[in-house]
Structure 1
Amino acid sequence: MKNKIFKNSITAVILFFTIVSFPQDKSSSIITLDLFYTKIKSQKNPQIIDARGPEEFALNHINGAVNFNLESKNYAKSVAALDKSKPVFIYSIGAGRSVWLANELLKNGFKEAYSLEGGIANWIGNGKPFYANSKSKLSIAEYNKIIADNNSVLVDIGSQYCAPCKKVKPILETIKAQYGDNLKIVEIDLEDNPQVIADLKTIKVFPTLILYQKGKIVFKKEGLGDLKKDVDGALAQSN
């Protein structure tokens, strides 16, 4: 009966994920990157869970992590294999699935379960060790050259699997149509360029937008916000 209830709750959360994306709300299970990393390092064999889809996990993940696909029929079996007396460290693309899973584990008798604030974006974006199945298409040297060779550069850093990141794309098209060659737009996705994101050591969430002018950062936006208005205002001030 207990397993049936657990399965039903999993089905409900999967349905919820198909409708909306989770906000980065402050849950008791969410901890900062520094604390998450410190706690992991204190464990001999840390239980690290990647709560993203299997295709995301295959592309990149935290070293030593195992994939808990919430849609898998083996999900309950995977949970049962964990040691309830030891901490469980969970992350996802942001802090949606990981928060849900951490809270579920705590409800079901686990002593400690932590969700990483900012998810995989925060981990890789601050240069922590990770696995990637392919080399980045863009190097940090090439990135820096683009910044140096163009007067104004707008960089969009995100992931193909990040719902808010997808909302940035049509806005970028509008900006591109308005400014043309006067503004260089660079789109960097985690799936193609994890090492560049790691080398920047300044990304905490997806999406992150950075506007450079003459090689210097004019603004850095975490999340969508009013991107068009901010770009227009910054460029207007420079003219």
Structure 2
Amino acid sequence: MKNFFATICCAFLLLSCKGQTAGGVEKIAPAQFSQKLKSENAPQLLDVRTPGEYAGEHIDNAINVNWNGPNFETEVAKLDKSKPVFVYCKIGGRSSQAAAKLSQMGFSKVYDLEGGILKWTAEGYAPKTDRIIGMCSQEYNELLNTDKLVLVDFYAKWCAPCKKMAPYLEKMTDEMKDKVTIVRLDADEHKTLVEEMKIAELPALFLYKDKKIIWQHKGFISEAELKQQLQ
């Protein structure tokens, strides 16, 4: 009986420890993420995207360790486990996985940026720049110069919902061309528009009539549901 009781106690303690580890990860919005970064002396800020993504844009003073790279654990093990670690990726998927791994490795506190650098930029925390990346607003407005409806789809090659929607959007582009002009814009190639329009989630759909937005949607939508909006 004593052995049984001891076994139960040990199991309870193990579960408790696991709960505490999971509790070491906190997903926070850009405003809070920014505040906590400023409150730390030399914060440990980790960008877990690819080197190419990091080179294109990153939060100041972030170090780059690719979550999908072969040396993730080896590289992050060099960080101070007693200090908070701030983690982000593009929209939050990879950073959530990386944050869980850091917690398992014994890091005391991990802050995961909600919505990733896409939301960070949309909410105005990225440095302002005069450099235009991709289409400018004037060129974008020229796309709307038509009597037909215009559906603009902002997508990304790495975005799973975007990939799922691509086949029927391409089909609809041809099937509905007499009624609707469908324009698909890669968000990574048109960063200026994404920032100006404060796009914080992909895919992002905007439906225009007479140059005015009459409907918009973020995230996945089925072909049937989308067609209802275009009737």
TM-score normalised per structure 1: 0.74
Query: 2-side partners of 1:147 and 1:40: how far apart?
Result: 41
Residue 225 of structure 2 is aligned with which of 230, 235, 239? 230
Q: 1:205 aligns with which of 201, 208, 216?
A: 201
Evaluate the alpha carbon distance shift between residue 187 and residue 101 of structure 1 in structure 2; reply closer, same or farther with a 3 A threshold. Answer: same
Match of 2:120 among 120, 123, 126: 123
Match of 2:98 among 98, 101, 107: 101
**1:109-163 per-position Cα deviation (integer Å, ceiling 9, x unaligned):** 322212222223212333431699x841201232233235554221111222222
**Equivalent residue for 1:75, pick from 72, 89, 100:** 72
Instruction: Show the counterpart of 1:177.
Output: 174
- Structure 1: gaps of 5 or more residues: 1-26
Q: State how many pairs are aligned.
A: 207
Residue 61 of structure 1 aligns to a residue in which SS?
A: coil
Asked if 1 retains the 8 angstrom alpha-carbon contact of 2:133 and 2:192, the reply is yes
Larger Rg: 2
Q: 1:197: Cα distance to partner? A: 0.4
Preserved CA contact (<8 Å) 2:153 2:183 = yes
Contact 2:25–2:110 under 8 Å retained in 1: no
Deviations 1:19-73 (A, max 9, x none): xxxxxxxx95322222223222333433222212223323333333222113434
Matched-pair identity in %:
36
- TM-score normalized by structure 2? 0.77
| Alpha carbons of structure 1 residues 229 and 107: separation in structure 2 relative to 1, 3 Å | same
Alpha-carbon distance in structure 2 between the residues aligned to 1:235 and 1:85? 54
